[in-house]
Amino acid sequence: MAKGQLEFQEEVDAARIENAMWRSWKADGSGDHSGDHSAKTEKLERVRGSIGDSIDFSQIRYPQETRRCRYDDLPTFPVRPNFAGFENALQPASQCVVFDGCPEDPYHPSNTPIYQTSTFVQPSSSEFGPYDYTRSGNPTRTALEKHVAMLEHAAAAFAFSSGMAALHTVTRLLKQGDEILVNEDIYGGMHRLLTQDCAHNGVQVTFVDTTNLTAVAKAITPKTKIIHTESPSNPRMKISDLRKLATLAHQHKVLLSVDSTMMPPVICQPLLLGVDLVVHSATKFFSGHADCTGGLVCVRDPELAHRVAFLQNAEGTALAPFECFLFLRGIKTMWLRVNRAQENTVQIAKALAKHPRIKEVFYPGPGGCSSEALRIHNSQSSGCGCIISFTTGSVSFSRRFLDASRLFKTTVSFGSVNSLGEMPCTMSHASIPAEERTLPADLVRLSVGIEDVRDLLQDLQRALDFASSQKPPPEHDGYDSRFEDLPVVPRPPDEEERPRKSLSEWLLSEVEGPSTSQMLSGPCPCCWESS
């Protein structure tokens, strides 16, 4: 075994011992048997029975005399590897695929099973098994959290019921009287959480431009405990220097939290830049299909991980097993999806920048930000992402553009295989009061998907043409998947006796023709051929 692997295994073994000792210490009822040899022997045998004989127990010492273990100090799930110092030999695309979520399963399933259960049977009334209650821990969730931690190089990762639940957990690390510095360009839901929840619970919220290190340094006070930012920011795509922010924060013993939803781990790994907490709305790129909601918190410090785990369990915000399974499945194609979408994004950004009706384009690529911002972004990320924002100079033009688009569906969120579009001021950031909003009212945000870029460019050009004219966009153009102009199957019984009708024409004639009672008493479509 190589030296690095040996050290890693020793860390895992040590963590397993500590976990088992916590559980056995609680089980013996008192926690103080320093002078009782038989009690120590019994305890040692209990640990041996819990984790096996792979360690030389005769050489282990436990300085437990000065330690008192409370119930709330017990781990809520089995110990897991600490990936903070892990160097994966695989490339990012392979890291998304090569992962066994349940290596201990005797049946060796190809995919992690869904442990759809709320409770787990315990060994006895005085002992805990690996899991007891799904709110506290579940094997499917453990698999997801381990895979995410591996991708992010985290000591541990935690899965929550939504991105907002993950962000809320970060704010719960603060207590009354603490201060949090927040980037002035921030997701609308986070702005609402901070100004209408945290501020009412005694936490001071201060907004600052985190792209300006001097401004951040001036804003830090003795009460500041967390600096929270996004890079790129949502939706103006402003770039913050995460390395320098981390250095500045740590000089003042302040934690740096980054919402990296726009930059999934196949593009950026903020923990390697010195960031303390990384948050994702997993609903976006980790899912990739807009079919489940979830959030993630990744930390690089084990002590901080212990606190996040406690909050996840105590507040009941953990992700359910089925959604964990969906995210595990989504991760497998994340590199492919993000890579393809980024390729489309570059071409679309170039086309938008050349259009005469587009005033300004915002994205971390050539022409979408300053050269200095682009340099910083490229130093901490491997791609531009899949989000583009732009202004048109007219709110009505932006609205007509979105209403005319057919492939870019008008919806909040981003990161799906489908291309999406929205106006932040009236959608994703509408919760920010107008007087506090720093966004241009005509701002449009596009989430570029994996469709053929030729179709996307054609759709955008057509939408821009319609927005420039006074013509209304067509109501039916085939993209709604209704296909009402096509002939229907099975054929109506008298199809050969009358001209062929489209689906909409046939339905209309039936509604206008026979009465409801006649239709109900007549043959059903399944019987047309036989009749």
Active site (catalytic) residues: 135, 187, 259, 284
Query: Helix, strand, coil proportions of the chain in percent (round to 5)?
Result: 40, 10, 45
DSSP per residue, 66-87 = T----GGGS-SS------TT--
Task: Classify residue 501 as exposed, middle or buried by CB count within 10 Å of its CB (0-12, 13-18, 19+).
Answer: middle
Sequence-distant (≥ 6) Cβ neighbours of residue 523 within 8 angstroms: 493, 530, 531
- Distance between CA atoms of residues 247 and 274, nearest Å: 7
- Distance between CA atoms of residues 79 and 84, nearest Å: 15
- Sort strands 156-160 and 179-183 into parallel, antiparallel or unpaired: unpaired
Q: Are 227 and 216 in contact (CB under 8 A)?
A: yes
Write the DSSP symbol of residue 221: -
Residues 303, 304, 306, 309, Cα dihedral to 10°: -170
- Distance between CA atoms of residues 518 and 522, nearest Å: 6
- Distance between CA atoms of residues 497 and 98, nearest Å: 61
Chain-centre distance for alpha carbon 479: 29
| Of residues 212, 477, 242, the one with CA closest to residue 380 | 242
3 state DSSP class of 277: strand
- 280 backbone dihedrals φ, ψ, rounded to 5°: -130, 140
- 305 backbone dihedrals φ, ψ, rounded to 5°: -60, -40
- Distance between CA atoms of residues 173 and 189, nearest Å: 18
